[in-house]
Amino acid sequence: EVHLVESGGGSVQAGGSLTLSCVASGFPFDDYAIGWFRQAPGKEREAVSCISSWDGNIYYAPSVKGRFTISSDDAKNTVYLQMNDLKSEDTAVYYCAADNELFLRLVTQNYDRMDYWGKGILVTVSA
């Protein structure tokens, strides 16, 4: 059974930091790219950052570039998202997702066809 389990969310003041973790199981981790997505109330789901460990490909949304860092520990089947200098506009439910064509999905923004999704975790940034 496939699982993507997010952790590390919570509440923080603007300017603060959080690190999200996504632990994957039930599928060949090395064959999949992993991405972090978020959805704020009343807004569309958006891609935040993605990584593919087999070719080192990394994506950051322009709104988080320079503040967020994605990394992968293949031995632990875990992807991290270090979030620094958080802003109120970063408030959202953050989801971890896996797909072996994830970077193609970024181009088409067809996220409904992602292979696997986690349940999401709330990040709240107060001004």
Read off the amino acid at residue 73: D
Angstrom distances, CA of residue 37 to CA of 18, 47, 61, 75, 127:
15, 4, 10, 23, 22
Angstrom distances, CA of residue 4 to CA of 13, 19, 75:
27, 16, 16
Query: Residue 112 — very low, low, confident or very high, per pLDDT cuts 50/70/90?
Result: confident
Does 33 have pLDDT greater than 90? yes
CA quadruple 104, 54, 62, 76: dihedral sign = positive
Q: What's the pLDDT tens digit per position in 62-86? A: 999 999 999 999 999 999 999 999 9
